[in-house]
Amino acid sequence: MTIGGHYDYEMHRVALAPLLPGAGKAALQLATEQALALGEAKFGHFLQAQGLAPFWAARLHEHGLTDQFSQQLYADLHQARLQATGQYLAQSHALKALRRVLDNSNIPHLVFKGAHTRERYFPEPALRPAVDIDVLVPREARTDAIHAFITEGFDLHALPENISHECSLTRGHTSIDLHWDILRPGRTRIPMAGRFLASRRDYGDYWGPSDEVTLFLLLVHSVFTKYLTTPQASLVRQLDIACLLHTKGPDWREVTRWLAESGLKTAGWLSLKWFRQCTAIETTLNAEEALRPGKIRRGYLENWLDSNRTSRWLDTPMRVQLGFTLAAHDSLRDALRATQVARECRWRGEEEVGEIEAQLRQRERKISLTGSTQPR
């Protein structure tokens, strides 16, 4: 809802409120009343789009409030919960297999984003949807990793516009997003993937990032890839942050240092401001204050948030990229670097896909001659 040119994000706050750590039955009752005032059908669609429907189904059942909405809406929420659970079981099996495949090929890797956050921060991980499993590997090992998955029956989907930092691999209902950079090349002042891989943690069924790395990724990823406040950004990521802060108490000094070294303090500040706007949760050590940009840039970006301009201009993404994401870098030099490298990556997209495909063919020829599937 827009009031006097400002977007109040009431739907966002209502959707998140009863799901935040410490929220109980009273918070859920209040949220259901507010949801009905906003419009039941509209609110139900919003929960589905934001990845929150399974959580609402669970909370309504837990507190005996399933009759607060129409039978149809609760049935839709319950169905979303069943689908999320089914997907979780399949992905949990794939997670273990993924570790086996990459460990056997001696490829350092870590699982991040939703497939990791639900295991690490949620008491009932099956409620947290994840469309795919995101895996980070070293750039120099990307062809080995792709070949390892192809050997396991996965199909490669390499798009020229994304091949600078990621590709997709699918097998049946399992989808893996394989990354060799945390963002498009040029977004960060210094390479970050290598240092994050070097500090990976063993979580038993999979390798994953530390809590500090996870928080860093949550703060910067949505700004540049989902434009923060758009429907694609998904509020479930704000729930990720809330549960991480509640359960683990990350070292903010380390996160702040990484944001500064990568030239993305402004992006981190934006995400924290958006997080507080959605949840009313204050971060420790005054992190938002430590990250905030200068007065002019701050006012400019606050205007984008207050008016939800990223969503309003989503049909003209170039305006958002130029007006919002470039301003989320810490300096003009950072923004120019990101622009220049992005242009170079677009020019080389088709060529880079061809190089990877040629390397895979060469690998297959070598295997046919030697019978070995292990990477060099």
The predicted-structure confidence for 51-84, as pLDDT tens digits, reads as follows: 999 999 999 999 999 999 999 999 999 999 999 9
Q: Can you read off the two tokens belonging to residue 90?
A: 């399949």
Q: What is the mean pLDDT of residues 306-318?
A: 91
86 C-beta neighbours (distance < 10 Å), count: 12
244-254 residue pLDDT tens:
999 998 999 99
Q: Identify whether 68 is part of a domain.
A: no
Considering only the C-alpha atoms of the chain, give the largest distance between any 2 of them, rounded to a whole number of Å: 71
Residue 3 has pLDDT above 60, yes or no: no
Number of domains in the chain: 1
Provide the CATH number for the domain around residue 345. 3.30.460.40
3-state secondary structure the chain: CEECCEECCHHHHHHHHHHCCCCCHHHHHHHHHHHHHHCHHHHHHHHHHCCCHHHHHHHHHHCCCHHHCCHHHHHHHHHHHHHHHHHHHHHHHHHHHHHHHHHHCCCCCEEECHHHHHHHHCCCHHHCCCCCEEEECCHHHHHHHHHHHHHCCCEEECCCCCCCCEEEEEECCEEEEEECCCCCCCCCCCCCHHHHHHCCEECCCCEECCHHHHHHHHHHHHHHHCCCCCHHHCCHHHHHHHHHHHHHCCCHHHHHHHHHHHCCHHHHHHHHHHHHHHHCCCCHHHHHHHHCCCHHHHHHHHHHHHHCHHHHCCCCHHHHHHHHHHHHCCCHHHHHHHHHHHHHHHHHHHHHHHHHHHHHHHHHHHHHHHCCCCCC
In a domain, 105, yes or no: yes
Question: Is residue 349 in a domain?
Answer: yes
Average pLDDT for the chain: 93
Residue 231 contacts residue 311 (beta carbons within 8 Å): yes
Which pair of structure tokens corresponds to residue 33?
Answer: 């009343």
d(CA 342, CA 85): 38
How large is the angle between the packed helices 71-104 and 114-121, nearest 10 degrees?
A: 100
Task: Give a yes or no: residue 309 inside a domain.
Answer: yes
Residue 343 lies in a domain: yes
Tell me which residue of 310, 276, 287, 306 sits closest to 16, measured CA to CA.
276
- Residue 44 falls inside a structural domain: no
Q: How far apart are CA 137 and CA 107, in angstroms?
A: 7
For residues 189-195, average pLDDT: 95
The length of the chain is: 376
4 pLDDT band, cuts 50/70/90, is very low
- Give dist(CA 66, CA 88) in Å, integer: 24
| Residue pLDDT, tens place only, 94-122 | 999 999 999 999 999 999 999 999 999 99
CA distance 201 to 208: 5
Cα separation, 322 vs 193, in Å, equals: 25
Would you say residue 13 lies in a domain? Answer: no
Mean pLDDT over 200-214 rounds to 97
What is the average pLDDT across 29-52? 97
CB count in 10 Å sphere of residue 161? 10
In terms of Cα–Cα distance, which of 138, 149, 139 is closest to 102? 149
Confidence of residue 213 (pLDDT cuts 50, 70, 90): very high
pLDDT score of 376 more than 50: no
Q: For residue 100, which amino acid is it?
A: R
CB 203 within 8 A of CB 120: yes
Which contacts qualify for 243-247: CB closer than 8 Å, 24 or more apart? 243/21, 243/117, 243/121, 243/122, 244/117, 244/120, 244/121, 244/211, 244/214, 244/215, 244/218, 245/215, 245/281, 245/283, 245/284, 246/21, 246/22, 247/21, 247/121
- Domain range enclosing 197: 92-370
- Say what the pTM is: 0.93
Residue 47 inside a domain? The answer is: no
